[in-house]
A and B are shown apart, each in its own frame.
Chain A
Amino acid sequence: MRKLSAEVVVIGGGATGVGVARDAAMRGYSTILVERADLAQGTTGRFHGLLHSGGRYVVSDPESATECAEENAIVSRIHADAVERTGGLFVCAPGDDPGFADKFLAGASAQKVPAQEITLSEALRREPRLNPGITRAIEVQDGTVDGWRMVWGAAESAKAHGATVLTYHDVTAIQVEDGHTQAVFCHNRKTGEDVTIDCGFVVNAAGPWAGHVAAMAGCHDVEVVPGRGIMVAMNHRLVNTVINRCIYPSDGDILVPVHTVCIIGTTDHPADDPDHLEIPADEVQQMLSAGEVLIPGFRQSRAVHAWAGARPLVKDHRVSASDTRHMSRGMAILDHDARDGVKGMVTIAGGKLTTYRLMAKNTVDLVSEQLGDNRPCTTDQEPVPTATSGINYTITHRLADREAERPTGPLGQQTPNDLGHQVVCECELVSRGMLVDTIAAHPDAQFDDWRRLLRIGMGPCQGGFCALRTTGIAVERKAMDAAAATALMRLFIAHRWIGLWPILFGAQVRQTVLDSWIFSGLLDLDSVPVPAVPPAFTPPGEAAAAKTATATDKEVAR
């Protein structure tokens, strides 16, 4: 049993929780963040990558629109390394009411969301694949953001300000005595160690799991309805700016170029269990049809992966429980002293990734008020440690890096000792040097962590070529032994399959067959004897997958 103590314990390592931890630490509170898996592994890592300009909400949710516009500028600055300033367009597709654009422009003006109508020829010049039948186009300041990179940056900042981040720690209980939270009990999933954290305040930022966490402190009926949305990533950027349908918020109304792919999203259906989110075939079809409206030929383009995320929507009794799309996207801060008579605990839920910093600010303002010292928030003042250069992400970075590593000389002969520039992941241009450095910097990491850190396995081949190379290098660098590496690679491939089954058509079928020939035909990977995968490596809720992880097990994949 390990004993720790902190003024503030934050439960949940998504954007909101990490934002709260950073904010609290910057205000000088001793802070510990507890996350049951890796950072940003839940909703934060499962969205479309849009950094809202606010345009999406100028008509439907004016308050959110203004918040988004303000936070967009702040996040672009303090998380420069995670944000690409792509710009965005709102377009009226054929059949859409062009009059909505007038409401849009009026709303944007009222909500201080920068927006400007541009000519159709200018819109088509910027985005040649855009539907030539669009009737209006409005330019906005949408960006795209890598949720993982943003959260890691915020976590690094929190740590720099003295916070402790405990990943792979399940919260097992919250002790409440005399109507005040006293301690949070955790279990380290990697070492099996139990940890007790004495604390003065608990912030519940568990997202779709927040109701479960609140109940541990005896605060019942916190109804967070997971709003399940699916997204489909297409193999390359069909557009280089964010394309939004200029309509009232609806399914499939956005196409987001993020990293090397572009992502169409999303749907919105209430889900029972945020650990088991379906990707139904009819919703995939719905997304492809929606893409076709924006980009003629969309269906002929290659889909590489699909996934589902769960929005943590706090139940609003003004709308029907099944209508998650029209529940407030705004943040909800529940003061459990006022609500349940439990002092020293708040729940923060709802909101958007774009406004994560503001949510954290508002939450910690309340915490600080209840702790009686009203310390000011400074999170908008200081770039996170990974973004101090101030240079925003651009898609060309990696190609430029690989180019800089090219050999020279009359015929550029390479020596066998010069392996750092070898390309390990061809789709995402990850070099051997990048992987080796990452393995050294993150000794506890494994395949899915390397994927999030480097994008290994996220391109068109979905791990078909890079997984084997990564496995070899991981063993060579002594990150794991051969048996564990084989087992974990198999698990990695199985996880990739979850997002492949729903979109198996066209070129991705051929890719999948080729990958399968390599794994099953050439290597007979399914029959290689391996030890059981340690539970710590199994994402919560995917225990079943770990037991029988194989590259071709359909049941697992589903």
Chain B
Amino acid sequence: MSTPIAAAGLGFAGHELARASLDQCLKCTICETQCPVARVTDLYPGPKFIGPQAERFRHGQSVDHSLDYCSSCGTCTLVCPQGVQIAEMISQGRAVMKAGHMPLRDKLISQTVLMGKAMTPVAPLANAALGIKPLRVVVEATFGIHRNAPMPHAQSQSFEAWFKKHRPARTTEATRGKVVFFHGCAGNYFEVATSKYAVEVLEHLGYEVLVPSHGCCGLAQQSNGLFDGATHDVLKLCDDLRSAGKGLTIVSASGSCTGMLKHEAHEIMGVKDERLADVGSRIVDIMEFLWTLHQAGELPEFAPINLSVPYHAPCQLKGQRMGMPALDVLGLIPGLTVRESGQPCCGIAGTYGLKKEKYAVAQAVGKPVFDHMLKDNPGFGLCDTETCRWQIGKSTGLRMEHPIYLVHQALGLSPVSTAA
């Protein structure tokens, strides 16, 4: 008999791309050896078990709550030599599991725009409040957000507010044409500096940068199983980005949101929409964009930066199967040594590490990344995605920057960092 879940529109989850791919699993166990969660806790049965094996038994029903210990880092899908969409299958299983009884906490923490809108006007107050221990204890007890979980740092001016007033400090005309800059919600409200660096770098290289007002990609909702809200948001975002002009390249400094647009909305939620296909094929990570320019011989010489910097390539960026373009681009800067962590995940995986019941797991997952960052650094570390920077920053006390930070310096747009 068919289930009410299938009737509710998650029928896709049980029956198309991801589920069919379970046929390719040979039990080789490579995914389980690479899974950052399975290596630190037995609470999680591992991606092979919970993915292609358990899916044969689910019948579109919610049976095994332990699948919720998957952090959605996507490492399993990335390393599978047979093309099994393991992480996607698990995300679909999670959506089925949570349908009808979604915790309020998971609805709240996936509302990133709301958080930004609420916090920006009262930034100092909000930041102070998030630092008050007794308040965080109450929040933990009430909502299940761990008292020590990393929180974004509110800024008093949003990126869009800055961008409206800003004029390109250009010495040359915008000879390379137009690009659209995607800031995402974190890049608008919290990681405003990174967005500014990105725009200034693009303008310096000769692009006219367009920023249509836009909101959230819905990734946090998707990873929490809120497919309806996520689908609404991602399509709204596509409309917003498409309003800037047809066929323009969309450059992003928000690595995980880029993945949502490129593949996750389609492969996990089954969104089949030409707007998504259009935006998904035009959006490009800023470091990959710069590396492509370099390969075409169109990137200017970089000034030297004499530093050795630890770097962590985020899971959700690697999942886009483009290698590690930040390493490639930063490798062009004379004098700079960038050391990648070699670890699959820092543990936060979007909102996973915020949750009370997942916090200890997320910290254990991230431990080798934290150790790597602390071992030898010039007072800061590098990572491409926002929530990972918050996680690593909170757990190490280190300032975390997007790799564009050093590109900005190497192009002479800000003073060059020196060893602390």
Contacts and interface: CB of A to CB of B under 8 A. Distances in A.
Nearest to B7: A125
Interface in B1-33: 1-2, 6-7, 11-12, 14-16, 19-20, 22-28
A414 B14 CA distance: 32
B48 to A, nearest CB: 7
Given A302-B23, A399-B64, A403-B64, A260 B40 contact: no
A465 B64 contact: no
A423 B56 contact: no
Contacts of A460: 23, 25-27
A399 B27 contact: no
Contact of A406 (B11, B43, B57): B43
Nearest to A514: B26
A394 interface: yes
Interface in B289-305: none
B127 interface: no
B59 interface: yes
B60 interface: yes
A400 interface: yes
B63 A507 contact: no
A396 B42 contact: no
Interface stretch (A189-197, A236-244, A480-488): A236-244
A240 B14 CA distance: 11
B23 A301 contact: yes
A507 B1 contact: no
B88 interface: no
A126 B15 CA distance: 11
Interface residues of B, number: 43
Given A236-B55, A260-B56, A423 B27 contact: no
B49 interface: yes
Contacts of B19: 236
Interface string A116-129: 00000000011111
Contacts of B66: 403, 406
A297 B16 CA distance: 11
B61 interface: yes
A187 B364 CA distance: 63
The winner among B23, B28, B40, B65 for most chain A CB atoms within 10 A is B23
B45 A406 contact: yes
A396 B23 contact: no
Interface string A239-251: 0110000000000
A294 to B, nearest CB: 14
Contact of A411 (B11, B27, B61, B364): B364
Interface string B70-82: 0000000000001
A412 interface: yes
A396 B59 contact: yes
B23 A395 contact: no
Given A411-B40, A426-B53, A507 B24 contact: yes
A507 B82 contact: yes
Contacts of B324: none
A301 B16 CA distance: 12
B360 A507 contact: no
Nearest to A129: B15
B41 interface: yes
B2 A125 contact: yes
B63 A412 contact: no
Contacts of B16: 128
Interface in B221-244: none
B23 A126 contact: no
A411 B57 contact: no
Interface string A333-345: 0000000000000
A443 interface: no
A464 interface: yes
Given A87-B1, A241-B1, A399 B63 contact: yes
B6 A427 contact: no
A429 interface: yes
Contacts of B63: 396, 399-400, 403
A300 B23 CA distance: 9
A427 B12 CA distance: 23
A363 interface: no
Given A240-B1, A240-B59, A260-B57, A407 B43 contact: yes
A507 B23 contact: yes
A527 interface: no
A396 B57 contact: yes
A401 B272 CA distance: 36
B43 A126 contact: no
A235 B41 contact: no
B40 A426 contact: no
A67 to B, nearest CB: 25
Contacts of B43: 406-409, 411-412
Interface string B388-399: 000000000000
A128 B23 contact: no
B361 interface: yes
Given A125-B2, A396-B63, A406-B45, A427 B27 contact: yes
A461 interface: yes
B54 interface: yes
B57 A511 contact: no
Nearest to B81: A510
Given A86-B1, A236-B22, A396 B27 contact: no
A410 interface: yes
Contacts of A126: 1-2, 6
A320 interface: no
Nearest to B360: A410
A398 interface: yes
B58 interface: yes
A413 interface: yes
A426 B48 CA distance: 9
Contact of A412 (B27, B42, B55): B42
A427 B60 contact: no
B359 to A, nearest CB: 10
Nearest to B1: A87
Contacts of A406: 42-43, 45, 66
Nearest to B43: A412
Given A413-B42, A426-B49, A400 B26 contact: no
B2 A127 contact: yes
The winner among A126, A241, A464 for most chain B CB atoms within 10 A is A126
A287 to B, nearest CB: 17
Interface in A460-519: 460-461, 464-465, 506-507, 510-511, 514
A127 B6 CA distance: 9
Contacts of B53: 426-427, 429
A125 B57 contact: no
B56 A403 contact: no
Contacts of A410: 360
Interface string A128-162: 11000000000000000000000000000000000
Interface in B307-348: none
Given A399-B63, A414-B42, A461 B24 contact: no
Contact of B15 (A128, A260, A403, A412): A128
Interface of A: 86-87, 125-129, 235-237, 240-241, 260, 297, 300-302, 394-396, 398-400, 402-403, 406-414, 423, 426-427, 429, 459-461, 464-465, 506-507, 510-511, 514
25 contacts: A128-B11, A128-B12, A128-B15, A236-B19, A236-B56, A240-B2, A297-B20, A301-B20, A394-B59, A396-B57, A396-B58, A396-B61, A399-B54, A408-B43, A412-B42, A412-B44, A423-B49, A426-B27, A426-B48, A459-B56, A461-B27, A464-B27, A510-B26, A510-B82, A514-B28
Given A300-B20, A394-B59, A429-B53, 7 more contacts: A125-B7, A126-B6, A236-B55, A240-B1, A402-B64, A403-B63, A414-B42
Q: Which 7 A-B pairs have the closest CB atoms?
A: A412-B43, A302-B23, A126-B2, A399-B57, A412-B42, A128-B15, A403-B64
Interface of B: 1-2, 6-7, 11-12, 14-16, 19-20, 22-28, 40-45, 48-49, 53-61, 63-66, 82, 360-361, 364
